[in-house]
Protein backbone atom coordinates (compact mmCIF):
# COMPACT_ATOMS: atom_id res chain seq x y z
CA UNK A 1 0.00 0.00 0.00
CA UNK A 2 2.74 2.45 0.95
CA UNK A 3 4.60 1.69 -2.29
CA UNK A 4 1.48 2.57 -4.27
CA UNK A 5 1.07 5.80 -2.30
CA UNK A 6 4.72 6.67 -2.90
CA UNK A 7 4.43 5.96 -6.64
CA UNK A 8 1.21 7.85 -7.33
CA UNK A 9 1.40 10.52 -4.60
CA UNK A 10 -2.35 11.13 -4.35
CA UNK A 11 -3.58 14.39 -2.82
CA UNK A 12 -6.78 12.72 -1.69
CA UNK A 13 -6.74 9.04 -0.85
CA UNK A 14 -9.70 6.81 -0.03
CA UNK A 15 -9.07 3.31 1.36
CA UNK A 16 -12.04 0.97 1.71
CA UNK A 17 -11.75 -2.23 3.75
CA UNK A 18 -14.19 -5.09 4.26
CA UNK A 19 -14.27 -7.80 6.94
CA UNK A 20 -12.40 -5.45 9.27
CA UNK A 21 -10.99 -7.40 12.20
CA UNK A 22 -10.96 -10.63 10.21
CA UNK A 23 -13.41 -13.51 10.39
CA UNK A 24 -12.81 -14.11 14.10
CA UNK A 25 -13.75 -10.71 15.49
CA UNK A 26 -13.46 -11.32 19.21
CA UNK A 27 -9.90 -12.59 18.87
CA UNK A 28 -8.76 -10.25 16.09
CA UNK A 29 -10.43 -6.87 16.60
CA UNK A 30 -7.70 -5.95 19.09
CA UNK A 31 -5.23 -5.79 16.17
CA UNK A 32 -7.28 -3.13 14.39
CA UNK A 33 -6.09 -0.23 16.57
CA UNK A 34 -2.47 -1.12 15.89
CA UNK A 35 -3.16 -1.22 12.14
CA UNK A 36 -4.90 2.17 12.22
CA UNK A 37 -2.13 3.80 14.28
CA UNK A 38 0.48 2.38 11.90
CA UNK A 39 -1.37 3.86 8.93
CA UNK A 40 -1.82 7.29 10.49
CA UNK A 41 1.68 7.63 11.91
CA UNK A 42 3.78 5.92 9.23
CA UNK A 43 6.52 7.80 7.44
CA UNK A 44 4.84 7.06 4.10
CA UNK A 45 1.77 9.04 5.20
CA UNK A 46 3.53 11.92 6.94
CA UNK A 47 2.44 14.50 4.35
CA UNK A 48 -1.23 13.71 4.95
CA UNK A 49 -2.09 16.16 7.70
CA UNK A 50 -5.85 15.47 7.77
CA UNK A 51 -7.65 12.15 7.97
CA UNK A 52 -11.04 10.65 8.62
CA UNK A 53 -11.34 7.03 9.71
CA UNK A 54 -14.66 5.22 10.10
CA UNK A 55 -14.50 1.73 11.57
CA UNK A 56 -17.51 -0.48 12.18
CA UNK A 57 -16.03 -2.46 15.08
CA UNK A 58 -19.18 -3.06 17.11
CA UNK A 59 -19.51 -6.77 16.39
CA UNK A 60 -21.86 -7.26 19.35
CA UNK A 61 -24.58 -5.37 17.50
CA UNK A 62 -25.95 -8.02 15.14
CA UNK A 63 -28.51 -5.56 13.86
CA UNK A 64 -25.97 -3.03 12.57
CA UNK A 65 -22.50 -4.64 12.27
CA UNK A 66 -20.99 -4.53 8.77
CA UNK A 67 -17.23 -4.91 9.53
CA UNK A 68 -16.53 -2.08 7.06
CA UNK A 69 -13.63 0.33 7.45
CA UNK A 70 -13.35 3.55 5.43
CA UNK A 71 -10.17 5.67 5.56
CA UNK A 72 -9.69 9.07 3.93
CA UNK A 73 -6.33 10.87 3.83
CA UNK A 74 -5.80 14.48 2.73
CA UNK A 75 -2.41 15.74 1.56
CA UNK A 76 -1.12 18.96 3.12
CA UNK A 77 -1.00 20.61 -0.34
CA UNK A 78 -4.77 20.22 -0.72
CA UNK A 79 -6.19 23.54 0.43
CA UNK A 80 -9.97 23.44 0.49
CA UNK A 81 -11.76 20.19 1.06
CA UNK A 82 -15.18 19.75 2.56
CA UNK A 83 -17.15 16.78 3.82
CA UNK A 84 -20.93 16.60 3.79
CA UNK A 85 -22.95 16.43 6.99
CA UNK A 86 -25.97 14.32 6.06
CA UNK A 87 -27.96 15.52 9.07
CA UNK A 88 -27.33 19.26 8.71
CA UNK A 89 -27.25 18.97 4.90
CA UNK A 90 -24.16 21.19 4.80
CA UNK A 91 -20.54 20.81 3.78
CA UNK A 92 -18.01 21.26 6.58
CA UNK A 93 -14.34 22.03 6.14
CA UNK A 94 -12.09 19.08 7.00
CA UNK A 95 -9.37 19.77 9.56
CA UNK A 96 -7.24 17.51 11.75
CA UNK A 97 -7.39 13.74 12.10
CA UNK A 98 -10.45 12.02 13.50
CA UNK A 99 -11.29 8.35 14.13
CA UNK A 100 -14.83 7.09 14.60
CA UNK A 101 -15.56 3.52 15.64
CA UNK A 102 -18.06 1.33 17.48
CA UNK A 103 -21.47 2.86 16.78
CA UNK A 104 -21.26 4.79 13.55
CA UNK A 105 -25.04 5.20 13.48
CA UNK A 106 -24.77 8.49 15.38
CA UNK A 107 -22.14 9.99 13.05
CA UNK A 108 -23.80 12.54 10.71
CA UNK A 109 -20.81 12.55 8.34
CA UNK A 110 -21.78 9.21 6.82
CA UNK A 111 -24.63 6.92 5.94
CA UNK A 112 -24.25 3.29 6.97
CA UNK A 113 -26.63 0.46 6.33
CA UNK A 114 -26.62 -3.30 6.65
CA UNK A 115 -28.66 -5.24 4.11
CA UNK A 116 -31.86 -6.80 5.45
CA UNK A 117 -31.46 -10.40 6.60
CA UNK A 118 -33.98 -11.65 4.05
CA UNK A 119 -31.67 -10.59 1.21
CA UNK A 120 -29.49 -13.60 1.94
CA UNK A 121 -31.46 -16.02 4.13
CA UNK A 122 -28.77 -18.73 3.96
CA UNK A 123 -26.62 -16.63 6.29
CA UNK A 124 -27.61 -16.73 9.94
CA UNK A 125 -25.74 -13.49 10.56
CA UNK A 126 -24.62 -11.53 7.52
CA UNK A 127 -22.30 -8.53 7.78
CA UNK A 128 -22.91 -7.26 4.26
CA UNK A 129 -23.79 -3.61 3.76
CA UNK A 130 -22.37 -0.22 2.78
CA UNK A 131 -20.97 3.07 4.11
CA UNK A 132 -21.37 6.29 2.13
CA UNK A 133 -19.50 9.59 2.54
CA UNK A 134 -19.69 12.75 0.41
CA UNK A 135 -16.83 15.12 -0.39
CA UNK A 136 -16.20 18.37 -2.20
CA UNK A 137 -12.78 19.24 -3.68
CA UNK A 138 -12.13 22.14 -6.07
CA UNK A 139 -15.84 22.72 -6.65
CA UNK A 140 -16.33 19.04 -7.41
CA UNK A 141 -18.77 17.06 -5.25
CA UNK A 142 -18.85 13.26 -5.22
CA UNK A 143 -19.96 10.30 -3.10
CA UNK A 144 -17.63 7.48 -2.07
CA UNK A 145 -19.42 4.25 -1.20
CA UNK A 146 -17.70 1.34 0.57
CA UNK A 147 -19.66 -1.79 -0.31
CA UNK A 148 -19.63 -5.49 0.56
CA UNK A 149 -22.07 -7.72 -1.34
CA UNK A 150 -23.08 -11.34 -0.74
CA UNK A 151 -20.80 -14.27 -1.55
CA UNK A 152 -21.47 -17.62 -3.22
CA UNK A 153 -22.42 -20.05 -0.45
CA UNK A 154 -21.94 -23.19 -2.58
CA UNK A 155 -20.06 -23.89 -5.80
CA UNK A 156 -22.56 -26.65 -6.58
CA UNK A 157 -25.54 -24.30 -6.36
CA UNK A 158 -23.69 -21.57 -8.29
CA UNK A 159 -23.08 -24.09 -11.08
CA UNK A 160 -26.73 -25.08 -11.44
CA UNK A 161 -28.11 -22.02 -13.25
CA UNK A 162 -26.82 -19.23 -15.46
CA UNK A 163 -26.85 -16.60 -14.06
CA UNK A 164 -26.63 -18.14 -10.59
CA UNK A 165 -29.06 -17.56 -7.75
CA UNK A 166 -26.28 -15.71 -5.91
CA UNK A 167 -25.79 -13.36 -8.85
CA UNK A 168 -29.47 -12.43 -8.52
CA UNK A 169 -29.05 -11.67 -4.81
CA UNK A 170 -26.07 -9.38 -5.51
CA UNK A 171 -28.02 -7.68 -8.29
CA UNK A 172 -30.85 -6.90 -5.86
CA UNK A 173 -28.49 -5.56 -3.15
CA UNK A 174 -26.44 -3.39 -5.52
CA UNK A 175 -29.62 -1.99 -7.06
CA UNK A 176 -30.78 -1.11 -3.55
CA UNK A 177 -27.56 0.84 -2.88
CA UNK A 178 -27.68 2.71 -6.20
CA UNK A 179 -31.30 3.69 -5.61
CA UNK A 180 -30.40 4.86 -2.13
CA UNK A 181 -27.56 7.17 -3.19
CA UNK A 182 -29.60 8.93 -5.88
CA UNK A 183 -32.87 9.25 -3.98
CA UNK A 184 -34.59 12.57 -3.35
CA UNK A 185 -33.17 13.31 0.11
CA UNK A 186 -29.99 14.98 -1.13
CA UNK A 187 -28.66 16.72 -4.21
CA UNK A 188 -27.43 14.22 -6.83
CA UNK A 189 -23.68 14.14 -7.36
CA UNK A 190 -21.20 11.84 -9.11
CA UNK A 191 -20.40 8.68 -7.20
CA UNK A 192 -17.76 5.99 -6.90
CA UNK A 193 -18.72 2.59 -5.46
CA UNK A 194 -15.81 0.36 -4.47
CA UNK A 195 -15.18 -2.66 -2.29
CA UNK A 196 -15.87 -6.39 -2.41
CA UNK A 197 -18.80 -6.90 -4.79
CA UNK A 198 -18.23 -10.66 -4.69
CA UNK A 199 -18.95 -10.72 -8.43
CA UNK A 200 -18.25 -14.22 -9.75
CA UNK A 201 -17.73 -15.61 -13.20
CA UNK A 202 -20.72 -17.36 -14.73
CA UNK A 203 -19.89 -20.72 -13.16
CA UNK A 204 -21.93 -22.86 -15.54
CA UNK A 205 -20.40 -21.25 -18.63
CA UNK A 206 -16.86 -21.40 -17.20
CA UNK A 207 -17.09 -25.08 -16.28
CA UNK A 208 -18.60 -25.95 -19.64
CA UNK A 209 -15.74 -24.12 -21.38
CA UNK A 210 -12.90 -25.41 -19.20
CA UNK A 211 -14.24 -28.97 -19.34
CA UNK A 212 -15.72 -28.95 -22.85
CA UNK A 213 -14.36 -32.39 -23.70
CA UNK A 214 -14.75 -33.95 -20.28
CA UNK A 215 -17.25 -36.44 -18.93
CA UNK A 216 -18.98 -35.66 -15.65
CA UNK A 217 -19.35 -38.02 -12.70
CA UNK A 218 -21.90 -37.17 -10.01
CA UNK A 219 -21.34 -38.29 -6.43
CA UNK A 220 -24.27 -38.23 -4.04
CA UNK A 221 -24.56 -38.55 -0.28
CA UNK A 222 -25.67 -42.08 0.67
CA UNK A 223 -28.25 -40.92 3.21
CA UNK A 224 -29.85 -37.91 1.45
CA UNK A 225 -29.06 -38.57 -2.21
CA UNK A 226 -27.92 -34.96 -2.36
CA UNK A 227 -25.17 -34.13 -4.89
CA UNK A 228 -21.98 -33.55 -2.90
CA UNK A 229 -19.32 -33.71 -5.63
CA UNK A 230 -18.89 -33.44 -9.39
CA UNK A 231 -15.79 -34.87 -11.07
CA UNK A 232 -14.92 -33.89 -14.65
CA UNK A 233 -12.52 -36.28 -16.40
CA UNK A 234 -10.92 -36.14 -19.82
CA UNK A 235 -12.58 -38.57 -22.22
CA UNK A 236 -9.20 -40.05 -23.10
CA UNK A 237 -5.72 -39.41 -21.64
CA UNK A 238 -6.30 -42.12 -18.99
CA UNK A 239 -9.43 -40.25 -17.87
CA UNK A 240 -7.35 -37.62 -16.11
CA UNK A 241 -9.32 -35.53 -13.58
CA UNK A 242 -9.67 -31.95 -14.87
CA UNK A 243 -11.97 -30.44 -12.26
CA UNK A 244 -13.43 -31.43 -8.90
CA UNK A 245 -16.37 -29.41 -7.66
CA UNK A 246 -17.79 -29.45 -4.13
CA UNK A 247 -19.62 -26.90 -1.98
CA UNK A 248 -16.34 -25.20 -1.11
CA UNK A 249 -13.95 -26.88 -3.55
CA UNK A 250 -13.05 -25.74 -7.05
CA UNK A 251 -9.98 -27.77 -7.92
CA UNK A 252 -9.01 -27.23 -11.56
CA UNK A 253 -5.87 -28.99 -12.72
CA UNK A 254 -4.31 -25.95 -14.44
CA UNK A 255 -4.29 -22.67 -12.50
CA UNK A 256 -2.34 -20.95 -15.28
CA UNK A 257 -5.59 -20.29 -17.14
CA UNK A 258 -6.50 -17.80 -14.39
CA UNK A 259 -3.08 -16.12 -14.44
CA UNK A 260 -1.92 -16.12 -18.08
CA UNK A 261 -2.36 -12.70 -19.64
CA UNK A 262 -4.04 -11.66 -16.36
CA UNK A 263 -6.83 -14.16 -16.96
CA UNK A 264 -8.33 -12.01 -19.72
CA UNK A 265 -9.57 -15.10 -21.58
CA UNK A 266 -12.08 -15.47 -18.74
CA UNK A 267 -13.34 -11.88 -18.74
CA UNK A 268 -16.12 -12.86 -21.14
CA UNK A 269 -17.67 -14.83 -18.25
CA UNK A 270 -17.58 -11.79 -15.95
CA UNK A 271 -21.19 -10.78 -16.62
CA UNK A 272 -22.71 -9.52 -13.40
CA UNK A 273 -22.02 -5.85 -14.09
CA UNK A 274 -23.75 -5.95 -17.48
CA UNK A 275 -27.14 -5.57 -15.76
CA UNK A 276 -26.01 -2.13 -14.55
CA UNK A 277 -24.38 -0.83 -17.73
CA UNK A 278 -26.81 2.12 -17.85
CA UNK A 279 -25.95 3.12 -14.28
CA UNK A 280 -22.34 2.11 -13.69
CA UNK A 281 -19.05 2.41 -15.58
CA UNK A 282 -15.81 0.52 -15.06
CA UNK A 283 -12.43 1.01 -16.66
CA UNK A 284 -10.96 -1.97 -18.54
CA UNK A 285 -9.65 -4.66 -16.21
CA UNK A 286 -6.00 -5.51 -16.83
CA UNK A 287 -5.20 -7.42 -13.62
CA UNK A 288 -5.83 -11.09 -12.72
CA UNK A 289 -8.83 -12.25 -10.69
CA UNK A 290 -8.59 -10.70 -7.22
CA UNK A 291 -9.91 -13.73 -5.28
CA UNK A 292 -9.36 -16.37 -3.77
CA UNK A 293 -5.64 -16.16 -3.11
CA UNK A 294 -3.77 -18.51 -0.82
CA UNK A 295 -3.38 -17.22 2.75
CA UNK A 296 0.00 -18.96 3.00
CA UNK A 297 2.46 -16.05 3.31
CA UNK A 298 4.93 -17.80 0.97
CA UNK A 299 2.32 -18.25 -1.81
CA UNK A 300 1.65 -14.68 -2.97
CA UNK A 301 0.59 -15.66 -6.49
CA UNK A 302 -1.22 -18.93 -5.76
CA UNK A 303 -5.00 -19.28 -5.81
CA UNK A 304 -6.80 -21.43 -3.25
CA UNK A 305 -8.78 -24.37 -4.61
CA UNK A 306 -11.94 -23.22 -2.84
CA UNK A 307 -13.69 -21.09 -5.48
CA UNK A 308 -13.34 -20.33 -9.15
CA UNK A 309 -11.04 -17.27 -9.30
CA UNK A 310 -13.02 -14.10 -10.04
CA UNK A 311 -12.81 -10.32 -10.05
CA UNK A 312 -14.61 -9.78 -6.74
CA UNK A 313 -12.94 -6.46 -5.90
CA UNK A 314 -13.87 -3.56 -8.16
CA UNK A 315 -14.03 0.19 -8.50
CA UNK A 316 -17.19 1.31 -10.26
CA UNK A 317 -18.57 4.78 -10.92
CA UNK A 318 -21.53 6.72 -12.21
CA UNK A 319 -21.35 7.93 -15.80
CA UNK A 320 -20.97 11.51 -14.55
CA UNK A 321 -17.94 10.38 -12.49
CA UNK A 322 -16.50 8.79 -15.63
CA UNK A 323 -16.71 12.18 -17.36
CA UNK A 324 -14.99 13.71 -14.35
CA UNK A 325 -11.91 11.49 -14.45
CA UNK A 326 -11.52 11.29 -18.21
CA UNK A 327 -11.96 15.03 -18.76
CA UNK A 328 -8.76 16.98 -18.25
CA UNK A 329 -7.46 20.49 -18.90
CA UNK A 330 -4.78 19.00 -21.12
CA UNK A 331 -4.17 15.66 -22.79
CA UNK A 332 -2.48 14.23 -19.72
CA UNK A 333 -5.03 11.55 -18.88
CA UNK A 334 -3.21 9.52 -16.28
CA UNK A 335 -5.76 6.93 -15.16
CA UNK A 336 -4.53 3.65 -13.69
CA UNK A 337 -6.75 0.74 -12.60
CA UNK A 338 -4.70 -2.10 -11.15
CA UNK A 339 -4.18 -4.45 -8.21
CA UNK A 340 -1.80 -4.15 -5.24
CA UNK A 341 0.87 -6.63 -4.16
CA UNK A 342 0.80 -9.09 -7.09
CA UNK A 343 3.59 -11.17 -5.55
CA UNK A 344 2.78 -10.62 -1.87
CA UNK A 345 0.29 -12.49 0.30
CA UNK A 346 -2.36 -9.96 1.32
CA UNK A 347 -5.01 -12.40 2.49
CA UNK A 348 -7.49 -14.15 0.22
CA UNK A 349 -8.27 -10.93 -1.70
CA UNK A 350 -5.84 -8.73 -3.64
CA UNK A 351 -6.75 -5.06 -3.16
CA UNK A 352 -7.39 -3.03 -6.31
CA UNK A 353 -6.83 0.70 -6.80
CA UNK A 354 -7.79 3.48 -9.17
CA UNK A 355 -5.53 6.49 -9.58
CA UNK A 356 -6.67 9.58 -11.51
CA UNK A 357 -6.57 13.37 -11.59
CA UNK A 358 -9.49 15.73 -11.42
CA UNK A 359 -8.99 19.07 -13.16
CA UNK A 360 -9.91 22.08 -11.02
CA UNK A 361 -13.53 22.98 -11.58
CA UNK A 362 -14.24 19.78 -13.52
CA UNK A 363 -17.35 19.18 -11.46
CA UNK A 364 -18.97 22.55 -11.98
CA UNK A 365 -21.63 21.30 -14.40
CA UNK A 366 -22.45 18.50 -11.93
CA UNK A 367 -22.08 20.01 -8.48
CA UNK A 368 -24.08 22.92 -7.19
CA UNK A 369 -20.97 25.03 -6.70
CA UNK A 370 -22.16 27.61 -4.23
CA UNK A 371 -23.35 24.85 -1.88
CA UNK A 372 -19.91 23.25 -1.91
CA UNK A 373 -18.34 26.33 -0.49
CA UNK A 374 -20.50 26.66 2.62
CA UNK A 375 -18.16 26.49 5.59
CA UNK A 376 -19.57 25.51 8.97
For 271-326, give the DSSP string. -GGGGGTTT-B-PPP-S---B-B---TT-TTPBPTTS--B--EEEEE-HHHHHHHH
**Residue-wise pLDDT tens digits, 255-285:** 999 999 999 999 999 999 999 999 999 999 9
Task: Tell whether the model's pLDDT for residue 170 goes beyond 60.
Answer: yes
The pLDDT value recorded for residue 103 is 72
Contact status, residue 357 vs residue 76, Cβ threshold 8 Å:
no
Place 373 in a pLDDT band, splitting at 50, 70 and 90.
very low
User: What percent of the chain has pLDDT above 90?
Assistant: 77
Alpha-carbon gap, residue 326 to 333, rounded angstroms: 7
The pLDDT value recorded for residue 334 is 83
Place 226 in a pLDDT band, splitting at 50, 70 and 90.
very high
Beta bridge partners of residue 311, listed in sequence order: none
**Residue-wise pLDDT tens digits, 233-246:** 998 878 899 999 99
Task: Tell whether the model's pLDDT for residue 52 goes beyond 50.
Answer: yes
The pLDDT value recorded for residue 60 is 83
First to last CA, the chain: 33
The pLDDT value recorded for residue 261 is 95
Alpha-carbon gap, residue 143 to 137, rounded angstroms: 11
To the nearest whole number, what is the mean pLDDT of the chain?
91
Task: Tell whether the model's pLDDT for residue 56 goes beyond 70.
Answer: yes
Mean per-residue pLDDT, 114-132: 84
The pLDDT value recorded for residue 364 is 61
The pLDDT value recorded for residue 369 is 44
The pLDDT value recorded for residue 372 is 45
The pLDDT value recorded for residue 180 is 95
The pLDDT value recorded for residue 78 is 93
Fold of the 1-153+163-199+259-355 domain: Deoxyribonuclease I; Chain A (3.60.10)
Mean per-residue pLDDT, 108-135: 88
10's torsion region: left (phi>0), alpha (psi -120 to 50) or beta?
A: beta
Mean per-residue pLDDT, 282-302: 95
Task: Tell whether the model's pLDDT for residue 328 goes beyond 60.
Answer: no
Q: Considering only 80-94, 296-310, 348-362, which range has the smallest mean pLDDT?
A: 348-362
The pLDDT value recorded for residue 20 is 87
CA distances (Å), origin 276, targets 153, 281, 318? 23, 8, 10
Main-chain dihedrals φ then ψ at residue 256, nearest 5 degrees: -60, -30
The pLDDT value recorded for residue 228 is 97
Place 367 in a pLDDT band, splitting at 50, 70 and 90.
very low
Amino acid sequence: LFQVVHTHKPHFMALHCQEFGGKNYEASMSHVDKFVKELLSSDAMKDYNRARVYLDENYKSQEHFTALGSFYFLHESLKNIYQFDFKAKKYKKVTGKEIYSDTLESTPMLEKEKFPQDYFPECKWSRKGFIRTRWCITDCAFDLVNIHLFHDASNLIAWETSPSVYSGIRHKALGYVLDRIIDQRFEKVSYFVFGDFNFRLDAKAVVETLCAKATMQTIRAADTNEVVKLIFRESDNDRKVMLQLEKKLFDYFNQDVFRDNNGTALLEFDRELSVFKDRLYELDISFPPSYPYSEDSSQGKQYMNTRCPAWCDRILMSHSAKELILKSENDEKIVIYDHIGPNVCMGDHKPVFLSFRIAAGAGKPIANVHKCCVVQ
